[in-house]
A and B are shown apart, each in its own frame.
Chain A
Amino acid sequence: MSEIVRVATKAMRMMLGEHDDPELVPISFPGSSGARVSIFRHSRTNSLYAVKCVSGSRVSLMDEMGKREILVPYLRDHLPRVLWCQVVDDFEVMISECAGVHTLHHLIVSSDVPHSRLLVVWQDVVETLVRTWKASQHQFQEALCPRFFPARLQRIKDGVRSSVIGGVQLSKCWNMPIIINGSEYSSLSESLEKIAQIGKPSIGVVCHGDPQPSNIVVGEGNMWYCVDWEWAGSHQDWRMMLTHLYGWWSTRCIALTSESVVRVAQNRLEVEHSTFIPAHLRPYQDIALSAASMMSDGFPDKETVCDINRFLAALYFGEMRFLSLWGREAFAASMLAQAVATVSELRQDESAQPFQFPQRKE
């Protein structure tokens, strides 16, 4: 029995009483914060409970519960109730209601639930979030943004610097031109400088800090619930939040056509990769993209498109740090290539193509 499961089981028994014997259902993959969630079924009532265990997390679970309160006025029907929160054997543990065993992520990638049903759920998630953004909009103050971008970008830079892909240490290629599938793009340093030029939105909004399918639990009758509230807040940049909705499909759902190659040759960083988003998943990404139109009452202006692309590039660079958590190290070269390509192609002219990701030629 893993340490997490032992602690989660102990917490369940503390809450329910020693005579109950909760049955462990599944345990989720760790999030980027390292938190683990185990799901238990009560032996007599069949009720489900989600047990979150964290150790040394940047946000204490007691504070995460405070962040949940920020979302309540807008997402009341989509927030599980917290039932119990204590420290157990070095871990902070929170037990909350669990209305479903699987996240939308899990159901989409590995279940037999029809996509027609899951698309309806995803559409409702996106529309509900946009309604929240519109209802809560106020003057944006970057300094109050829970996902304060300058600090986040610094962490991303540090992560890229320490990355090694295919035996190539990226810190040693920092200023080299990058050749992706034969075309030349900006260096890492130039790419990150371009990302740093991101503009400020006119409005700040209330939002979950990481809205994406791994943080949506699906219940019965297409009901869905937001979990992981640690970065929720009142002063989010909706364009960054949109990139979480959209970029997840590019970071977690792409498939490899062939093995990627990363090498340094003639003082250039060369990347060869071939990836695509499976066709049946593209409608999910289209729905995510529709949030931009909903927020802009039509297609967003070019400046907004460029900034969303900068956020996307930052997300791709940033996710490189977490690929090993998800067993997706093989996609590191593609993430790097996509980040560089996305930011290199920023143009505020008529030919600007927003939010592109390689599609397999049919």
Chain B
Amino acid sequence: MYRTFMSQENFDFVARALTCLAIEVGVKEGDGSFWVCYGSFVLNQQTPESDLDLLCIHTKLTAVRRIQSSFEGHPVTIYSLNRNDFASDGDQKIFGGYFGGKILNPHVMFGTSQKDQDMMVDVGGAFIGPFASAMAKKQKRDVATGTNLAADSVLARFHLCPWYRSYFLRYYASPIFPKLWERMAEVITLSFLKAGMVAQSGTDFRYRYSLPDEELHENTLAAAARFWALGSCLHGCMPDFPAFYMQKAEQYVKDNNLEDRLEELMRFLYTQSVGQNKGGIHGT
């Protein structure tokens, strides 16, 4: 999906890492497992200290795990989970989008079949779709362009987790953001179509349904609770994980004096959500 953004050097580095790291998760080629790389390596934004962020989806009957390893001096964080568990984070939001959300970010897949790729697209769309629909409803907008859908989905993620804003800000501040945003609009649109969230009419799209307010509220709380509960479990059962995550996110904005950029990002997203943009970020 985002392979064209990743340098060949990074792609080869990750491919090389996966052959070594497979042993950490206990998977091997041909056993139905596949890998997803997300985070700084995808957009070549890594520093020597950056984590290599990986998701390993497999068919083993093991619980979700967070594995910390390293490769050629880079710290590595691997989330390992069963294929069915991953799928259930889409429509059912069983982990509150802990994984469904990750694949809404730029990512590159390794060792995937067409069936795997279809599942990935479906899970992302199924997870965020109902919340994105609520964003459109709030804007009183019936028809959407691909760009509107992308903005809806990002705003929906901010609604579920306001601290995700500082993470997304890294994309927004990148010089390649205009091209990245175009690609995100294409990928999100495809995800929503695949997950049956929207119906297409030419270049326009309509959300197929929107949740009643009460149900939306309940689903939002459930997703948030599941997300933070899993996060705490996977971080050494630390009850402080949510506070730590939130404070780190706020710190990133403060340390880098990005308060103005954050406001600009929010204006950009609202503009993209409301406007009849056919794509790109021109005229914002």
Let me know if A144 and B251 touch, CB within 8 A. no
Overall SS of chain A's interface: mixed
- For residue B66, CB closer than 8 A to chain A, the reply is yes
Give chain A interface residues in 140-185, CB to chain B under 8 Å.
141, 143-146, 148, 150-152
Among B20, B240, B241, B244, point to the contact of A141 (Cβ < 8 A): B20
Let me know if B251 and A65 touch, CB within 8 A. no
- For residue A215, CB closer than 8 A to chain B, the reply is no
Let me know if A86 and B69 touch, CB within 8 A. no
Let me know if A148 and B72 touch, CB within 8 A. yes
Closest to B19 in A: A143
Question: If A84-B240, A87-B244 touch, does A66 touch B69 (CB 8 Å cutoff)?
Answer: no
Residues of chain A lying within 8 A (CB to CB) of residue B244: 62, 85-87, 92
Let me know if A62 and B235 touch, CB within 8 A. yes
In whole angstroms, how far apart are the Cα atoms of A85 and B244 in the complex?
7
Among A58, A62, A68, A148, point to the contact of B241 (Cβ < 8 A): A62
CB B147 to nearest CB in A, in angstroms, measures 35
In whole angstroms, how far apart are the Cα atoms of A88 and B247 in the complex?
8
Among B17, B48, B69, B243, point to the contact of A234 (Cβ < 8 A): B69
- For residue B236, CB closer than 8 A to chain A, the reply is yes
Question: If A62-B244, A144-B21 touch, does A67 touch B68 (CB 8 Å cutoff)?
Answer: yes
Question: If A66-B235, A141-B20, A144-B21 touch, does A86 touch B70 (CB 8 Å cutoff)?
Answer: no
Residues of chain B lying within 8 A (CB to CB) of residue A141: 20, 23
Give chain B interface residues in 170-227, CB to chain A under 8 Å.
none
Contact with A along B221-250 (1 / 0, CB 8 A): 000000000000001101011011001100
CB B14 to nearest CB in A, in angstroms, measures 12
- For residue A16, CB closer than 8 A to chain B, the reply is no
Residues of chain B lying within 8 A (CB to CB) of residue A59: 75
Closest to B76 in A: A144
- For residue B24, CB closer than 8 A to chain A, the reply is yes
Closest to B250 in A: A87
Residues of chain B lying within 8 A (CB to CB) of residue A88: 247
Among A65, A148, A150, point to the contact of B70 (Cβ < 8 A): A148
Question: If A85-B244, A87-B251, A234-B69 touch, does A65 touch B238 (CB 8 Å cutoff)?
Answer: yes
Let me know if B238 and A85 touch, CB within 8 A. yes
Residue among A84, A144, A152 facing the most chain B CB atoms (10 A cut-off): A144
Among B49, B68, B73, B251, point to the contact of A152 (Cβ < 8 A): B73
- For residue A345, CB closer than 8 A to chain B, the reply is no
Let me know if A148 and B248 touch, CB within 8 A. no
Residue among A65, A90, A150, A151 facing the most chain B CB atoms (10 A cut-off): A65
- For residue B255, CB closer than 8 A to chain A, the reply is yes
Among B21, B72, B77, B236, point to the contact of A65 (Cβ < 8 A): B236
Among B49, B70, B77, B248, point to the contact of A145 (Cβ < 8 A): B70
In whole angstroms, how far apart are the Cα atoms of A92 and B243 in the complex?
11
Among A82, A145, A146, A234, point to the contact of B236 (Cβ < 8 A): A82
CB B211 to nearest CB in A, in angstroms, measures 34
CB A14 to nearest CB in B, in angstroms, measures 10
- For residue B11, CB closer than 8 A to chain A, the reply is no
CB A227 to nearest CB in B, in angstroms, measures 16
Let me know if B73 and A62 touch, CB within 8 A. no
Residues of chain B lying within 8 A (CB to CB) of residue A144: 20-21, 24, 69-71
Closest to A152 in B: B73
Residue among A58, A62, A70 facing the most chain B CB atoms (10 A cut-off): A62
- For residue A259, CB closer than 8 A to chain B, the reply is no
In whole angstroms, how far apart are the Cα atoms of A84 and B236 in the complex?
11
- For residue A69, CB closer than 8 A to chain B, the reply is yes
Residues of chain A lying within 8 A (CB to CB) of residue B248: 60, 87, 92
Residues of chain B lying within 8 A (CB to CB) of residue A146: 70
Among B68, B77, B247, point to the contact of A86 (Cβ < 8 A): B247
In whole angstroms, how far apart are the Cα atoms of A201 and B90 in the complex?
45
- For residue A213, CB closer than 8 A to chain B, the reply is no
Closest to A230 in B: B75
Residue among B21, B236, B248, B254 facing the most chain A CB atoms (10 A cut-off): B236
- For residue A63, CB closer than 8 A to chain B, the reply is yes
CB B41 to nearest CB in A, in angstroms, measures 15
In whole angstroms, how far apart are the Cα atoms of A66 and B206 in the complex?
44
- For residue A22, CB closer than 8 A to chain B, the reply is no
Let me know if A233 and B236 touch, CB within 8 A. no
In whole angstroms, how far apart are the Cα atoms of A60 and B251 in the complex?
13
Let me know if B73 and A90 touch, CB within 8 A. no
Give chain B interface residues in 3-17, CB to chain A under 8 Å.
16-17
In whole angstroms, how far apart are the Cα atoms of A329 and B27 in the complex?
49
Let me know if A66 and B24 touch, CB within 8 A. no
Residues of chain A lying within 8 A (CB to CB) of residue B75: 59, 63
Contact with A along B64-90 (1 / 0, CB 8 A): 001011111101010000000000000
Contact with A along B248-275 (1 / 0, CB 8 A): 1001001100000000000000000000
Residues of chain A lying within 8 A (CB to CB) of residue B72: 143, 148, 150-151
Residue among A66, A151, A233 facing the most chain B CB atoms (10 A cut-off): A66
CB B83 to nearest CB in A, in angstroms, measures 24
The 9 A-B pairs of least Cβ separation, nearest first, read A87-B247, A151-B73, A148-B73, A66-B68, A65-B236, A146-B70, A85-B240, A58-B49, A143-B20
A residues contacting B by CB (< 8 A) are 58-60, 62-63, 65-70, 82, 84-88, 90, 92, 141, 143-146, 148, 150-152, 233-235
Interface contacts beyond A66-B236, A90-B255, A143-B72: sample of 8 additional A-B pairs, CB < 8 Å, sorted by A: A58-B49, A62-B241, A65-B236, A143-B16, A143-B17, A144-B21, A144-B24, A235-B69
29 A-B pairs within 8 Å (CB atoms) are namely A58-B49, A62-B241, A63-B68, A65-B236, A65-B238, A66-B66, A66-B235, A67-B68, A70-B68, A85-B244, A86-B243, A87-B243, A87-B244, A90-B251, A90-B255, A141-B20, A141-B23, A143-B20, A143-B71, A144-B69, A144-B71, A145-B70, A148-B73, A150-B72, A150-B73, A151-B48, A151-B72, A152-B73, A234-B69
